[in-house]
Each structure stands twice: as structure tokens, then as C-alpha cells.
Amino acid sequence: MSQLQTPIWAKDVTAHQKVSTFTVGRDKEFDILLAEADIYGNLAHTQMLESIGLLTKQELQAVHTELKKIYSTVIDGTFKIEDGVEDVHSQVELLLTRTLGDVGKKIHSGRSRNDQILLDLKLYIRNQIFETVDFVEQLFTQLQTLSEKHKHVLMPGYTHLQIAMPSSFGLWFGCYAESLTDDLQLLLAAYAITNQNPLGSAAGYGSSFPLNRTMTTQLLGFKTMNYNVMYAQMGRGKVEKTVSYALASIAATLSKMAMELCLFMNQNFGFVSFPEEYTTGSSIMPHKKNPDVFELIRAKCNRLQTLPIEISSITTNLPFGYNRDLQIIKEHFLPAFQELHSCIDLMIVMLQNITINSNILDSPMYNYLFSVDEVNNLVQQGMPFRDAYVKVGLDIKQGNFTPDKEARHTHEGSIGNLCTNEISEKFTHIQQQFDIDFVTNALQCLLKS
């Protein structure tokens, strides 16, 4: 086991080896994901320190030059947290101190690791939210395309998993497209909570330095800041939980769609099929074409739906101020984005290769799908609804019901009027509220400073 270097926060006592190992935990493994965000935070913080006289212009230039070199190693994948270094913040400060000496030791002025990690998390989460928006948009577009392409292909609708009323593949695909608009709305709310600058809150009680928090807010492209420094620290855990609810909402949409596709591929349904290379086989049954991709999407997304509960359990009734319990959240929260993105990506790939059975309703088992339409036809001819309902019910019971298998639904959102454009407009309106270009420009300017 490697020896830990003396932590940057240590004084004249070295922590017991087992205590150090246990408290560091898996931080190094997950802090690599935060390295880019840590560089951005250091660039903004040191620029602010220069503005209030805690760094000279020459020192700032030297620090920024070295930070940008470190940034390059993060981007090319060669950055690492060395053995014995406990986290990404310590590694960056160590690299600066090796190169710049005492100047490197100045960069932590007015900061605590508490607001430093909270800032890194928010910057990382914000970027991951942007990537999630992109993945969701791709899936939404694929669903809308399929909805329009197959809008005239009828299929059975179900209630209680019993044959109920006529539906269509246009309606089915469009259903999940519109579900994503609500998921995106929830993600937008989580983004608004994330996109607030905590830097300058230090350990949760501010600083006696005259920090310019407005300046770092602008440099990092945040919409606003968490003004109350104590509340800024309370945001640790709350931000992750809020974002995880949004991720869980997207996951719920994917999981439900995956479940239905498993059913639709079943030979007893036979609604859809996929090329053999997109399915898996059996070790003893040569005819099998298993929906493993959808089963794994279902399982992974169901697990993602437990994440808010896990975070809630960790954070429930923690006392005010920072508590080390919060470190554990990173282990499951940070990988959740990649897990969700991979599920969305595979769902898109599968949908790009789906084949629709356009003759489902030829089977007589679906004749009764049109019983409600027949009741409605009688009502339009003047018969009271209750009388029409009884008549059609008796015709079915006596074997006298002959369906007209043409759905004539015209109201908004029905089989014959999917409102695809309106759903797209709703999605676009939500999507445009993520100020991705503004944030991207702010960070690019910071790198050029």
C-alpha cells in the first residue's frame, strides 16, 4: 500500500495510515472526472485574487500559464492524481507549487476545499447536463421521425394489459417523444438550481478577505450565485439529489419504453422486429432472438431511478456545515450520467433499425378494439350513449359485431391528429432555455485570459 503524502491541510501531526486510507476512500478515482472543472475554478479564483491584491499581475500570469499546461494534460488524458495525493485539488496545487514555489501556495487564499469541491461538482454537473440535453434531443428527434413515418399504421391499445382501443405506432412513438419534453422540463429546473456559483462560501461561513463573488460568477458563466454562504454549503447533496430526480425521470421514460419493446418483440405480440445482429441468442435454443439490449436498458434505468432515494438516505438530517458523509455520494452519482447516456445511445441505435408489423390488426382477436368507435357512431346518429353501449355489448356477446377497422379520430393528440409539430415546438422552447452557448463562451474566454 502506498504511503500518503502529508495532506496540504496537515499541521504537525500525521494521520494514522488506516484513517487516511479510509477517509480518502475512492476520491482519487472519481476526482479525475472533476479535473477540468477544477482548472476552470482555479483560473477564475486566481483572477479574482489578483483583482483584490492577493496576487500580483506577474504571479497571476505565471499561475495561469501553468494552469493551462495542466489543463492540456487533462484534455489529452495524461493528467493523473499521484500516489499519496488525496484529491484533485491537492494534485493541482502540488503541481503549481513544484513549478512556482510560494506562488503556488497562494492560490487557496479565501477558499476551503468545501467550496472548491462544490464548485467542481457544479461545473461538472452543468457540463453533463448539457451532454444529457444533446442525447435527449437525438432520441426525441428519432421518436418524432418514427411517429410521422408510421402514423397510419394501427396497433392495439391496452388497459389492464387487455385489448382496449385502436392505437397507432405514430401515437406510440409520439407518446415517448412528448414524455421526454416533461423530462427535459424537470432537467431544466435541476439545471437552474445547479447553475449558481458557490465559490467564496469557503467552509460555509465566508471569508475575511474582500472576495469579489460577482466576478467569479461572471467568469465561470453562472446565471447567479448562492448568496448566503451557509446555504451554499447546504447545497452539497441537495444539488446532486435534485439532478438525480431529473435523470431518474428520463430513465423512467426509457425503462417503460424498453419494457414495451420487449413485449412487442415477443412472438405472442409480433408487433416489431430487429435484425438478428441487434439481438442475442441462446446456448441451447437455436431459434432465439432475445431483446438483451432492452432488458439491460430497463435494468440500468430502473437502478438509476433508485439514485435519488440513495442520496436522500445519505443526506437526511445531516447537521449544518460540511459532513464527510457527502463524499460517498460521488461514487454513484458521477457515473450516473454516463450510464444514462449509454442507455439513450443504444435506444437510438435500436430504434434506427426497428421493423414495424403493419398488418397487426388483420387478426380477428383485435376486432373488439373498435367497439367504442361503433358506440360513438351510434351516438352521432342520435342514439343515447348508454343505449348505444348496451346495443354494442349485446352484439358482441351474441357474435353479431362486425368492426369497421378504420379509426376516424381527429381531435388534438389523437391517432389522426398527432400534433407532432406542436410537441416539437414545446421541446424546442424548453431546450433553448439551457444557455449552453453563453456558458461555453464564458469558459472559453477564461481559458484565453
Residues with active-site annotation: 160, 282
Contact 92, 42 (CB under 8 A): yes
Contact 164, 157 (CB under 8 A): yes
- What span, in angstroms and rounded, lies between the C-alpha atoms of 224 and 195? 7
Helix (H, G, I), strand (E, B) or coil at 142: helix
- What span, in angstroms and rounded, lies between the C-alpha atoms of 2 and 333? 27
Contact 132, 430 (CB under 8 A): no
CA pseudo-torsion sign 385, 389, 392, 394: negative
Q: What is the DSSP letter of 414?
A: B
Helix (H, G, I), strand (E, B) or coil at 32: helix
- Amino acid identity for residue 32 in this structure: I
Please return the burial class of 426, using the count of CB atoms within 10 Å of its CB with bins 0-12, 13-18 and 19+.
middle
Contact 87, 31 (CB under 8 A): yes
Helix (H) or strand (E) holding 272: strand 272-273
- What span, in angstroms and rounded, lies between the C-alpha atoms of 177 and 145? 10
Q: Count how many Cα atoms sit within 13 Å of the Cα of residue 144 in the half-sphere of its side chain.
A: 21
The most distant pair of C-alpha atoms in the chain lies apart, rounded to whole Å, by 94
Residue closest to 336 by CA, chosen among 268, 240, 254:
240
- Amino acid identity for residue 84 in this structure: G
C-alpha cell at 113: 476545499
How far is residue 55 CA from its own chain's centroid?
39
Measured at the CA of 380, the angle between CA 376 and CA 383, to 5 degrees, comes to: 85
Rg (CA), the chain: 28
Whole-number Cα distances in Å, 221 to 189, 216, 272: 17, 8, 46
- What span, in angstroms and rounded, lies between the C-alpha atoms of 83 and 9? 17
Owner of C-alpha cell 435494468: 299
